[in-house]
Every structure is written in C-alpha cells, then in structure tokens.
C-alpha cells in the first residue's frame, strides 16, 4: 500500500503491520491531542486507554506521530509515554509533516497530518476528540484549520465529537458542506458541540449503526467520490458539560487569548488549557471521556468495513 518513495521514512509497528497485511480492522489515533491537547500525565493515561478500548473491541490501534524524523504508524507503549512527557514537540499538520521528517524532529500529528499518514498506510478509520475548524472571528483572523481541507481530499473516516466548541460551529459546517465533506451525526438529530451533546445546529446527516456508516463510506468510494467524511459522536450524557455552562468558559478563554495576542497554531492549545483552568479540570475529564467514546465507535466502524 505504501509507495516505494514513502517507505524509507515510515516505521509500521509490527502488530499494526500484521493487521494491515491480514486485512483485520485497524484504527488510527492522532497525537497532537497527546502533545498539545492535554497536560501530563492525563495525556499519557488517555493515550493508553484509547488504545486499550480499541483492542477490547477487537481492532488494532495505531497511534501516529513523528519521532526523531520517523513517521510512526503505531507506537510502542514506551514511545507513547515518552511523547506524552516530551513537552517541546512540534504540532504537525499538512504544511509541516514532511519538514519534521526531513529535519529529524519529533511532533504530534493533527487531524490533517494523521489523515495523511493513515491513508498512506491504508487505514480508513481514525478516532480523535474534535476536529479543527473555522475559529470565532475568522472573518478578521482568517483562522481556518487545515483539518477541513484534509477532510475534503483524503479518504479517511474521522470519528470526532464534532468541531471543538471553541470554534464557530455554524461556519465550520458551511465550509464542510462547500468542500463536499459529509457530516454524519451518530444517533442524534442535532450536531454535538464537543463537551456538550447539543449545539443549536441540526445534523446534516444522521446514521444510527456502525454498519451504516461503513456502508455509506463504501458507497462513496464505489462511486469514485474522493475525500473523507466526518462522524460526529455526541459525548455520553453522564460526562457532558451543558452548552450553557461551557459558553462562559469559552468566552473568557477567547478574551484572554486576544489580550495575550495568541495566534496561529498556538490558538487551539491555548484555549483548551485556559478552559481546563476555568472549569476546574471538568473540561479535561469530559475531553478524555469523549475521546474514549470515539475510539469505541471507530473500532466498531473499522470492524464493519
């Protein structure tokens, strides 16, 4: 599956390689959520628990990252722990994935970069927390995540809890529609809002079974419709933070980011850590719960495929 020219830059972890060769289900996992999305040691625990959940569901987890210039498809437990602890890693998207490889750097892969790596390795299903999207105030800042363009071009199913609620969800949905990315809400009629089960926006599409999601993806491929699709999986009720409560934290974090002139790649990590602080750790507990929930659904989709 991997081209001759790419092979010399990539290490596939043996369990993952075996599963890919045998055609058994594999689920990709991103690593920016480990390096930039959560503090240590919760990031380490989360990275281990999502892999455990995928294994328990009968699929093979492949956490993707760049370590010392090697594009890793699947990490050993030791590599995963080291990445969680590292602290000074790059945040890699389409623009700089190859830079990190060429310059022998270490970095977490965003949704966009993880999709690229998963597609290279022949992995069709990928679990994350929330995708990047159109930031609030994007009409001034032009801050639109490269995740959206990647979803439009790379054939991977991304299982998320929706766009992170720090974003302008309405504009994010508009861009996804323009770029031809199906947004399928799992088992609900409204778009979830990451930490909360409900946003004010209706579900563009809805499916209720992993087999139906797999069937939709296969149909797109059979018709030659290129690109990926976004699954929005609402966080479990017991773990959600109601949107009303989140709104206050998000607005305060946004204000702080403006006051401190935070821009570019630093915006999302800054907002997430500020919201963690403001919510007294509640947002982090919910973030972990929703990633675990997405890993479980991703494994079921991978099995159905």
Distance of alpha carbon 297 from alpha carbon 144, whole angstroms: 27
Site for Mn ion in 129-188 (CB under 5 A): 143
Site for ligand PSU in 251-290 (CB under 6 A): 265, 268, 272, 287
- Is residue 37 near ligand PSU by the rule CB under 6 A? yes
Tell me whether residue 105 or residue 303 sits nearer to ligand PSU (CB atom). 105
Distance of alpha carbon 160 from alpha carbon 151, whole angstroms: 12
Contact region with ligand PSU (CB under 6 A), list: 72-80, 145-153, 185-193, 234-242: 145-153
Give the residue, chosen from 25, 74, 107, 129, that forms a contact with ligand PSU under the rule CB under 6 A.
129
Distance of alpha carbon 57 from alpha carbon 51, whole angstroms: 10
| Whether the Cβ atoms of residue 118 and residue 124 lie closer than 8 Å to each other | yes
> 100: Cβ–Cβ under 8 A, 6 or more apart, which residues?
66, 69, 90, 92, 106, 107
- Note the Cα 187 to chain centre separation in Å: 19
Q: In a 3-state reduction of DSSP, which class is residue 93? A: coil
Contact region with ligand PSU (CB under 6 A), list: 25-33, 40-48, 52-60, 278-286: 25-33
CB of 282 to ligand PSU, least distance (A): 14
- 164 part of the active site: yes
- 282 part of the active site: no
Q: Which member of 13, 30, 51, 150 is catalytic?
A: 30
Angle (nearest 5°) at CA 161 between 141 and 17: 105
Q: Which does 287 bind (CB under 5 to 8 A by kind): ligand PSU, Mn ion, none?
A: ligand PSU
Distance of alpha carbon 28 from alpha carbon 74, whole angstroms: 8
> 52: Cβ–Cβ under 8 A, 6 or more apart, which residues?
none
Q: Which does 147 bind (CB under 5 to 8 A by kind): ligand PSU, Mn ion, none?
A: ligand PSU
Binding site for ligand PSU (CB under 6 A): 30, 32-33, 36-37, 110-111, 128-130, 132, 145-147, 265, 268, 272, 287, 291
Catalytic residues: 30, 164
Binding site for Mn ion (CB under 5 A): 143
């Amino acid at each position: 599956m991997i081209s001759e020219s790419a092979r010399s830059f990539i290490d596939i972890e043996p369990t993952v390689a075996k599963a890919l060769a045998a055609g058994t289900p594999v689920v990709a996992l991103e690593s920016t959520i480990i390096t930039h999305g959560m503090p240590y040691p919760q990031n380490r625990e989360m990275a281990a628990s999502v892999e455990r959940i995928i294994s328990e569901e009968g699929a093979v987890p492949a956490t993707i990252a760049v370590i010392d210039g090697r594009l890793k498809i699947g990490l050993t437990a030791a590599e995963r722990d080291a990445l969680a602890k590292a602290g000074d890693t790059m945040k890699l998207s389409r623009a700089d994935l190859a830079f990190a490889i060429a310059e022998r750097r270490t970095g977490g892969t965003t949704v966009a970069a993880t999709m690229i790596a998963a597609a290279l390795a022949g992995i069709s299903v990928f679990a994350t927390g929330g995708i990047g999207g159109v930031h609030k105030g994007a009409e001034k800042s032009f801050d639109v995540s490269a995740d959206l363009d990647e979803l439009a071009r790379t054939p991977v199913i991304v299982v998320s809890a929706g766009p992170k609620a720090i974003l302008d969800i309405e504009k994010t949905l508009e861009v996804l529609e323009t770029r031809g990315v199906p947004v399928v809400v799992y088992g609900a009629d409204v778009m979830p809002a990451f930490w909360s089960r409900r946003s004010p926006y209706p579900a563009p599409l809805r499916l209720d079974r992993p087999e139906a999601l797999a069937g939709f993806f296969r149909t797109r491929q059979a018709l030659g419709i290129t690109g990926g699709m976004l699954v929005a999986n609402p966080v479990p009720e017991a773990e959600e933070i109601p949107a009303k409560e989140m709104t206050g934290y998000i607005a305060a974090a946004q204000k702080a980011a403006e006051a401190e002139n935070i821009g570019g790649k630093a915006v999302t990590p800054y907002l997430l850590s500020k919201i963690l602080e403001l919510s007294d750790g509640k947002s982090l507990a919910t973030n972990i719960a929703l990633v675990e929930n997405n890993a479980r659904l991703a494994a079921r989709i991978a099995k159905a495929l």
